[in-house]
Structure 1
Amino acid sequence: MQLKTNLKIIVLILLTNIFSTCYSQKPPEKFGKISIEAFNNNICPIDSNAHAYFIFDYGNSYFRYADTKISSDDAKSSQKGFQLFFSRHFRIKIVDTEGFSWANIEIPLYHDGDEEKIVKIKAYTYNLENDKIVKIKLEKKDVFIEETNKYWTTQKFAMPSVREGSIIEIEYTIKSDFYFNMRPWYFQKTIPILQSEYHVSIPEYFNYHHTQKGYFPIQREADSNRREITITYHQKAEGTAVKEQTYTNRYNYSENIYHYSAKEIPAFPVEGYLRTKENYLSQIEFELQSTKFPNSLMKYYTTSWEKINDNLLGNISFGKELNNASHLKNDVETLKQLDQTDFLLLNSAFNFIKDKMAWNGYKNKYATSSLSKAYKEGTGNCADINLNLTVLLRELGFDTYPVIISTQENGIIHPAHPSISRFNYVISMVKLGNDTLLMDATDPYSEINLLPIRCLNDKGRIVNNTGGSWINLMDYKPYSIIESFKLDVNNDFSINGIDEMALKGYAAYLKKKIIKKYNGITEYQSSIEKGSNDYKINELEVVGLDSTQEDLKLTLKFVQNNSIEKSNDIAFFKPVYQPFISKNPFKLEKRDYPIEFDYPYNVRQIYTISLPENFTITEIPKPLNICTPDGKMRYIYNITQLGNRISLFIMFSQSKSLFLPEEYQGLKNFYQMIVDKQNELILFKISE
């Protein structure tokens, strides 16, 4: 009788604790409680141009102890410990058809041995029909799972019966055994949010670093509370030596509670020259630094960059793999027989890996299984390929190290906040004399010190035996074009032209990728002609297309009709026949985030324009020479006339990759001056 009484007390204490924790924080609205008034106004209260908007977005991250009843014959029941839960409840108003994409929902789930699971989900679409609210439930059959990569899957579904004026409401809860994967919270998105809240409750056993990003202010409140876990342990009888017994232990602990909130959050205005909006959206992130459970030693996760470096070197899918070179033995000997040294041998080895292995499109800092397996199969993720490159170069005698980076779409790394989880990619670095050389063998068009654009993202972290160090990823090679036009204007106003381009650096890299998308030069030529009215290419020559070591050269001989306009005996046309900057990419009244260029620019255009003898030039544009206040961006437009021949020289250069928000208006005006100048006309009279 006493045992039953004790068990009832234990269950009562446990249930009391669970319910008090679960309902300590509530969403702004009860699920399903939709009023007809919500359908009356189909315009966002804070942005009349919005195609959709969040009525509210509520999140809650909290911990629960997995098994509070443990039996001696179930060893697994005592191994789970705390589990991390994330609940989200949100409503979105769909204003018009351009907002329909917000009814396509994706929920990422992590797995590595164990897996995150959605333990609860409710989703409805609400429509107003004949002054009545009709709700349509999301069916289980309409939810599907997509394998994103080795560690992530994505649950996807499209909300049913969505139309203009619909309100969608979704609530779900994720259960996770991965303490490091506490969900970040985005207070700002590309549509407005009327109300956003995030509650986080963390037991004292966990230490997380909180990072707040973005320009829109977020309110933060902190509190603490005492909690209790009651663990019931049931020992089953084992022969005569061990009797059946039940024990209980109570653990009191402190829980740190954080409440983040914001209201009337405007849509994030996405504009050009932005690597990823992830860097500047108002958000809160959490990085697990350490855990300290009762009667256990403290366990550190991301305390310093040096510790992260050492962990990577000891990882079986990273540093340990760098010690395995047996699968490369024969190819190392083949490369040595080329009788090359230094840069020539380095380049040969680099191209060898590019030819040997194809990238499967996956980004990861860890090898898929083993470097040997990926090498033999000839395909792999970026780590499989570039760690193989690193090992190969070491076997050839180069001073080579892997470099972990975060790609552009993944966001920048904050040096003040050590975090292994923020990295998602690996490249290779070589020290050759006084030079530091970076390589990524996943892209057949990349070169030494010319990384794919996805890799151009501030800094990377060298992994070595001395604790690692930072390395700049930017500004190694420019976007460089020298273009020469010879334009002969005919009496019928057609133009016979020759366009000669010499492209280097990223200009050559990008143009090669464009041309290679087509089935040969002829198809590429047709695409150019289709993009321009009354434009016919008579001859197209391309040199250097199939070599990463050669500059790319293009020569086009063409005829252009209807590019000269005539009014009575006056004619006019734009001497900047193919402007490098044709539109101003900066349209915002105000930009609260930096302007990010991927590389320096060095562009030269030289025009020689010849007119018939019966054309008399009456007006030409004036020269222009402008630069930004710091001199990092310059534009020159220099035009001269000698009889019926016009010479025009245009130069655009930029040596700075990052401009601050306070420089935006000046940069916007600078670009507008370029666009305006390049639209100016040459006027001439025509005599019979």
Structure 2
Amino acid sequence: MRFFFYSFFFLITSLSFGQDLLITKSGDSLYVDLKTKKRFEFITYLDVGNGKIDYRIGTEKVKTYIEDYFVKFTDLMITTDGMILRSDSSLTILNYGDTVRLHEVHPSQIKSITPDYWKDQIPKSHYTYLGSFIEEQQKVLEIDRAKRYDKQFSNSGKFGEISLEEAMMTHCPIDSSAGAFILFDKGEFQYLPSGSGYFFSPGQFSRHLRIKILKPSGTRWGNWTVRSSESGNFNIMVFNLEGDVLVSEKLKAKDHYTEELVNGYYFNKMFIPDVKVGTIIDIQYLSRGMPREWQFQVEIPTLHSEISIEAIPNLRFSYSITGFHPILPIAPNRHWIAKNIPAFHGENFMSHEVNFVSKLNIQMEEASQLNISKTWEGVSKLIWDLIQPNSKNKDLRNFLEGVGALEMAPSEIIDTSFYYLKEKLKWSGVYQAVPFVSIYKPKSLGERIQAGEELNSAEMNLALAYLLEELGVRVLRVALSTRDNGILNPLYPERDKLNHLICYLPDQQIFLDLNDKYAIPGFLPENVLNHQGRIISKDSSAWIDLKTKDMKQVQQVTNITVDENFHVSASVQRRLKEYEYVEWAKVYEELQTDEAYEGTLNELYNFKIEKLNLTDEKGEHYVNQEMTLDLDDQVMVFDNELFIHPILMAEFSNNPFKSESRKYPVDFIYPIKKYYMTTITLPENAMVTSLPKPEAIKLENGFGNFTFVCSSVGNKIQVQYLMDIRKTTYTEVEYYGIKSFFDAISNKLQEQIIIAKNQG
């Protein structure tokens, strides 16, 4: 009898394409009609004993199936309702009765299928056996796949060759919460003797990066932007395991976008398709020249990161390592490796992460026949030499003389020159500390201005400096690194890290920068407020603090009216100034209309704006907002009592500093000042039952203060709230004081005024 079932099993598992079967049982025989190609082939199996099977079969093809699969049979369970048939690679459930369809479970599906899945599909007599089978298959699944599909995988680590272990990974070994992680990131610089000269680097840099996606939150790592000296020299492959088949896809041209930054440098933007949970992304690219840095740590964990650098004759580089994760030098100044690097997690109010991640900084120190300085004084002199020739250019002088002929009073020279050039010149969006010089078609700054070409950030501000000097204003040039480019190290000259140049007027003690859309004279854009810059002049140089007198300011006067039915309305006069204004302007520019902005406020603060007027004073850097509000959805009425927060639209009602300790310094960027005054008018049938208590707190050394005053006279309640932070940066040691300060603010802003109806 057992041999009869053996053969029958191998027939049905080999034909597991969902064919229809008609099965009847009589004694020791099963009669099976197998439907293939729109006809039934009658097959009869008889048990004749002695290890032999006598069968009558309609086609030679079916006979071959039986013989080929006989040896693969491993297990069988017969019940009163049917059979569960098992081989090394599959499980088939077969019920007696009328025409049925086979249910086959492949090992690749076992992990996602539990016995509950089959409760409504198979007889109860099968259930116990099926549960134990699935439990066993879960344990052997990876071994089974390795045996059967080893040819699809490779452990070589070469581009396009994925290991089985990588394909099967379902979590990051060093961070179970990670949505994605980097399997490895390898960079290599090779010396190429054919290249030479200052502008053409004698070497080639290659990078091979492999990422594993684990959760839907990790799919964003399918989009990459890489700055490179090459456009399009990229190879990218995507791998997905579908069942037991590794499916690969190469990135197409439509998924790769190249944007020229400046001549010879590009932003390569990759939008990788079909990225999902389980995807592996393989990226490889080439670039000319030595990289300026190698970043070992990013926002997701990295299992392995390394860079190797081949020596270049007549050139010497210096190297420095920053960050907290240990970096292992394999060969002095040639090869570095880091393993099991945790994801970088930023904190609220910190300077750019580029200042804290673990990375290798690379700086050219010496080159034959080139004067490359090892001091900041020498770097400043080099930049001065690069920017000076433009001031003597005839085309530039002609342009400046034309602007200088404009009629303006001495007190108007700075503002008029600033706004004229802001409108006349076109910024390319590229930050540079020196003018662009093409080695192919050299053009002076004056020629480029006259031709209407886009200018980099240094060229924009140099034109302003030259114009003001023509008009008798003393101007200093200040080279700096923007916030997203990292803080300059006063002890370690980093010429290549200087990526911007602005103007400083020492007599007026103000900075000028034409490159921000919302900039006005004397106002420094947020991205420029980055600790220190370097004054560039002919005879001397020095550090200068990149500080601002401007603040992030809010001034708000609110009048709240409560009627006898506890309906609450308010009128608000609100002024957003300086950096608060810039934040508002960017939001409004994206929304484009008053109605869209009104909808954003309604959703954010849970009230209904009945009327909104905006007065935008761009030249003065403030906006006035007048609004009439319905607050019924914001207040709470319970048992004839009204609960109301008196300070509307207040920032910091939740403390942004929740951790008990701090790893990185606190950086507010600019001073902050918030002033709110609220008057609440009550109806005659109401009385105050609870008011927040007054409170006043000061930061150490008077760097900030917070005051809250609340009083009630007659049917009026008046509340005043002031928060003022004058110092912008605080060390980790000072963190506890900052946390306590904001704890007090958030706790006080969450307190409510309680108003009750008179019962008389």
Match of 1:599 in 2: 670
Match of 2:213 in 1: 94
**Contact 1:356 1:378 (C-alpha < 8 Å) held by counterparts:** no
Match of 2:267 in 1: 154
1:449 aligns with 2:539: no
CA distance in 1, matches of 2:584, 2:640: 41
Match of 1:407 in 2: 482
Render the CA deviation track for 1:573-604: whole Å, top value 9, x for unaligned.
Answer: 11122212233333556542222112111221
Match of 2:334 in 1: 258
Match of 1:10 in 2: none
Match of 1:578 in 2: 649
1:168 aligns with 2:237: no
1:483 aligns with 2:596: no
Match of 1:322 in 2: 391
Deviation at 1:494, TM superposition (A): 3.0
1:64-463 pair list within 5 angstroms = 64-66=192-194, 83-110=202-229, 116=230, 122-138=235-251, 143-159=256-272, 161-174=274-287, 176=288, 178=289, 181-203=290-312, 205-223=314-332, 257-292=333-368, 299-315=370-386, 318-324=387-393, 325-334=397-406, 337-338=407-408, 340-341=409-410, 343-368=411-436, 369-376=443-450, 377=452, 380-432=455-507, 435-463=508-536
> In structure 2, what residue type is equivalent to 1:381?
N
> In structure 2, what residue type is equivalent to 1:269?
H
SS at match of 1:274: coil
**Contact 2:617 2:623 (C-alpha < 8 Å) held by counterparts:** no
Aligned CA RMSD, in angstroms, stands at 3.1
CA distance in 1, matches of 2:688, 2:355: 52
Between structures 1 and 2, the one with greater helix share = 2
Seen in structure 2, the aligned counterparts of structure 1 residues 140 and 561 have a Cα distance that, compared at 3 Å, is closer
Deviation at 1:198, TM superposition (A): 2.1
1:626 aligns with 2:702: no
**Contact 1:386 1:440 (C-alpha < 8 Å) held by counterparts:** yes
Q: Report which of the two structures shows the higher radius of gyration computed on alpha carbons.
A: 2
Match of 2:186 in 1: 58
Deviation at 1:569, TM superposition (A): 1.8
Render the CA deviation track for 1:536-585: whole Å, top value 9, x for unaligned.
Answer: 2435252xx34524754443344433332111222211112221223333
Match of 1:663 in 2: 734
Render the CA deviation track for 1:385-417: whole Å, top value 9, x for unaligned.
Answer: 211111110011011122222222122221222
> In structure 1, what residue type is equivalent to 2:444?
S
Moved more, 205-214 or 657-666: 657-666
CA distance in 2, matches of 1:403, 1:394: 15
CA distance in 2, matches of 1:632, 1:28: 58
Seen in structure 2, the aligned counterparts of structure 1 residues 42 and 647 have a Cα distance that, compared at 3 Å, is same
Matched positions, count: 595
Seen in structure 2, the aligned counterparts of structure 1 residues 575 and 508 have a Cα distance that, compared at 3 Å, is same
Deviation at 1:465, TM superposition (A): 1.0
SS at match of 1:548: helix
**Contact 1:28 1:56 (C-alpha < 8 Å) held by counterparts:** no
**Contact 1:122 1:170 (C-alpha < 8 Å) held by counterparts:** yes
Seen in structure 2, the aligned counterparts of structure 1 residues 305 and 485 have a Cα distance that, compared at 3 Å, is same
Deviation at 1:651, TM superposition (A): 1.1
Deviation at 1:439, TM superposition (A): 0.6
Identity of aligned residues (%): 27
Deviation at 1:143, TM superposition (A): 4.5
Match of 1:250 in 2: none
SS at match of 1:148: strand
Match of 1:674 in 2: 745
**Contact 1:61 1:183 (C-alpha < 8 Å) held by counterparts:** no
Deviation at 1:677, TM superposition (A): 1.7
Of structures 1 and 2, the one with the larger relative CO (CA 8 A, separation 6+) is 1
**Contact 1:305 1:467 (C-alpha < 8 Å) held by counterparts:** no
Render the CA deviation track for 1:471-500: whole Å, top value 9, x for unaligned.
Answer: 211232222333221212222333332322
Seen in structure 2, the aligned counterparts of structure 1 residues 373 and 612 have a Cα distance that, compared at 3 Å, is farther
Seen in structure 2, the aligned counterparts of structure 1 residues 669 and 312 have a Cα distance that, compared at 3 Å, is same
SS at match of 1:145: strand
Seen in structure 2, the aligned counterparts of structure 1 residues 400 and 534 have a Cα distance that, compared at 3 Å, is closer
SS at match of 1:65: coil
**Contact 2:523 2:548 (C-alpha < 8 Å) held by counterparts:** no
Moved more, 101-110 or 419-428: 101-110
CA distance in 2, matches of 1:156, 1:550: 35
Deviation at 1:507, TM superposition (A): 2.9
CA distance in 2, matches of 1:443, 1:137: 40
**Contact 2:172 2:180 (C-alpha < 8 Å) held by counterparts:** yes
CA distance in 1, matches of 2:313, 2:189: 15
Seen in structure 2, the aligned counterparts of structure 1 residues 100 and 588 have a Cα distance that, compared at 3 Å, is farther
CA distance in 1, matches of 2:200, 2:643: 79
SS at match of 2:383: helix
> In structure 1, what residue type is equivalent to 2:323?
G
Render the CA deviation track for 1:253-278: whole Å, top value 9, x for unaligned.
Answer: xxxx5332222211111333234211
Match of 1:639 in 2: 710
> In structure 2, what residue type is equivalent to 1:170?
I
SS at match of 2:649: coil
SS at match of 1:441: coil
CA distance in 2, matches of 1:475, 1:141: 45
Seen in structure 2, the aligned counterparts of structure 1 residues 569 and 155 have a Cα distance that, compared at 3 Å, is closer
Moved more, 128-137 or 348-357: 128-137
**Contact 1:480 1:507 (C-alpha < 8 Å) held by counterparts:** yes
SS at match of 1:446: coil
1:613 aligns with 2:684: yes
Seen in structure 2, the aligned counterparts of structure 1 residues 117 and 345 have a Cα distance that, compared at 3 Å, is closer
CA distance in 1, matches of 2:367, 2:680: 73
TM-score, structure 1 normalization: 0.79
**Contact 1:215 1:592 (C-alpha < 8 Å) held by counterparts:** no
Render the CA deviation track for 1:416-468: whole Å, top value 9, x for unaligned.
Answer: 22222112222112122xx4221112335323321121211112222211132
CA distance in 2, matches of 1:53, 1:281: 16
**Contact 2:231 2:258 (C-alpha < 8 Å) held by counterparts:** no
**Contact 1:540 1:557 (C-alpha < 8 Å) held by counterparts:** no
**Contact 1:354 1:441 (C-alpha < 8 Å) held by counterparts:** yes
Match of 2:92 in 1: none
CA distance in 1, matches of 2:590, 2:276: 38
Unaligned runs of 5+ in 2: 1-154, 437-442
**Contact 2:531 2:547 (C-alpha < 8 Å) held by counterparts:** yes
CA distance in 1, matches of 2:722, 2:391: 47
Seen in structure 2, the aligned counterparts of structure 1 residues 521 and 90 have a Cα distance that, compared at 3 Å, is closer
SS at match of 2:727: coil
Match of 1:469 in 2: 542
Moved more, 383-392 or 133-142: 133-142
CA distance in 2, matches of 1:355, 1:80: 33
